[in-house]
Every structure is written in C-alpha cells, then in structure tokens.
Amino acid sequence: MFALGALILAAHCNASPTNNIAARPATANSTTNQTMKFPVTKTDTEWRQELTPEQYRVLRQADTERPFTGLYWNTKEPGVYRCAACKQVLFTSKDKFDSGCGWPSFSDLASAKTVILRDDSSFGMHRTEVICAHCGSHLGHLFDDGPKPTGLRYCINSASLAFEKTNPPQPGPGEKK
Ligand code: FE
C-alpha cells in the first residue's frame, strides 16, 4: 500500500542522475536473472518461517518499506550490514552516507560480487534492482547520484539488512587507554 509512495519518493531522490557508470557492476537482464541459481536456496515456506512478515515482503516479494521508518536509515555506528536472509556481508559503515531519502544508502559494496543487478521496469519507471548474489533476495535499487569517487547510491531497505556493530580496537597490554 505504501510501496507506490515510497517509489515516488525514491524516484524524486534520483532527480539529478549522472552518467558515472565506471564503478557500476554489470547488469543482468531480467530473463537471465529469473533462471539464475543461487548458493543459498530455500523453499517459499522456509523463507516465510525464517523471516519476519516485513522481511519476507521486502526480501522475497520486492516490497519497499516506507522512508524514514526502517531500523537503519539513520544509523551511524561502525559496523557491517549483512543480508537479513542469508547473512552474507553486503555493506560496511564506511560507505554509508546520508542521502536524505530515508533509506540506508551506501556508495559502495563491502566486496565485489556480493550483489547482482537487474533491470526493473515496475511502476512505470526504469530502475536497477539490487539483489543478494548469495540468496537472490531483493535488497533495493541502485542509482547514479551517489558521492564520489563511485558516484553510486545503493538505496537499500532496512528490512533487507542485519546490522552488526563492530567494536573499536582495544588497546593492547601496556598501551595507554
Ligand atoms: Fe542474501
């Protein structure tokens, strides 16, 4: 019900796209992706049992949470963001930035090949969907209006993420605190 409003906001946030695609991973077309096999595969019943209803709607049915409502849109603590479905590390706090869109936004991936991109023409818009390369779950969308040097904005649902806080390094024996 709120998906359309959220998508309109997402499109609005993408009002000044650039053509900086140097850092953008290759995009799979939708036909390729539909037949893709993922390392983690579960039945629909298993996903429903393991995920919360909101996580299931977003991760497995490509829904979009309302902006400024998710757990992590304003999180600034150091840590890693895992896929909420398969627990693969997707993003780190060092690449998280405040895009003003109300969804967690990242300028880069934690490491290459953790996500797959595919064309998304739903809701009358042409966008790039971001899915987990490990389990095929929907994460969010990718836009070309992020900060330098990548110029990318991975606009990701909080419901698709599991944040894991990392502790600052502890001083060794004999070191000053
Ligand atoms: Fe995953």
Residue-wise pLDDT for 25-34, tens only, equals 776 654 444 5
Both tokens of 105, joined, read 């936004």
State the total domains in the chain.
1
| 115 Cα distance to chain centroid | 9
Q: Look at residue 151 and tell me if it is in a domain.
A: yes
Ligand 1 centroid vs 86 CA: distance in angstroms?
4
86 included as an active-site residue: no
Ligand 1 centroid vs 134 CA: distance in angstroms?
5
Longest dimension (CA), the chain: 62
**CATH code of residue 147:** 2.170.150.20
pLDDT at 167: 78
Ligand 1 centroid vs 165 CA: distance in angstroms?
19
Q: How far apart are CA 30 and CA 140, in angstroms?
A: 15
Q: How far apart are CA 108 and CA 154, in angstroms?
A: 7
Q: Look at residue 174 and tell me if it is in a domain.
A: no
Count of beta carbons in the 10 Å neighbourhood of residue 80: 17
Residues of the domain holding 95: 2-33+42-165
Residue-wise pLDDT for 88-121, tens only, equals 999 999 999 999 999 999 999 999 999 999 999 9
